[in-house]
Every structure is written in C-alpha cells, then in structure tokens.
Amino acid sequence: MFDAIDKLGIDLVIMGSHGRRGLQRLLLGSQASAVLATSKVPVPIVK
C-alpha cells in the first residue's frame, strides 16, 4: 500500500474504524492502527 501512496503522490489517507475497544480489539487486531503507526502521510480515522 505504501508503494502506491508514493507512486500516486497521495498526501492524505482516510480510514474507517469499527471502534472496537479492549479485549475485542486485542483479539481482532486493527488495520487502521497499523496504517496510522507506519504511514508517512496523515491518516484521519473515522468511526
């Protein structure tokens, strides 16, 4: 995904979240959190 961001010149990525919390989030993981932590561009998360 990050290669596409660079190639296309994208300067903002908007992601949705189911808003899971606590144990449910731990068990299911969170793609939004992973992208937020590793992205070079701003990533607003929408619930």
The Cα 3–Cα 18 span in angstroms is 26
The Cα 32–Cα 39 span in angstroms is 10
In whole angstroms, how far apart are CA 30 and each of 7, 9, 45? 25, 25, 12
pLDDT for the residue numbered 27? 54
- DSSP assignment of 1-47, as one string? -HHHHHHHT-----EE-----HHHHHHH--HHHHHHHH-SS---EE-
pLDDT for the residue numbered 35? 85
Q: What pLDDT, in 10s, does the model give residues 11-37?
A: 999 988 776 666 666 654 577 778 888
pLDDT for the residue numbered 17? 76
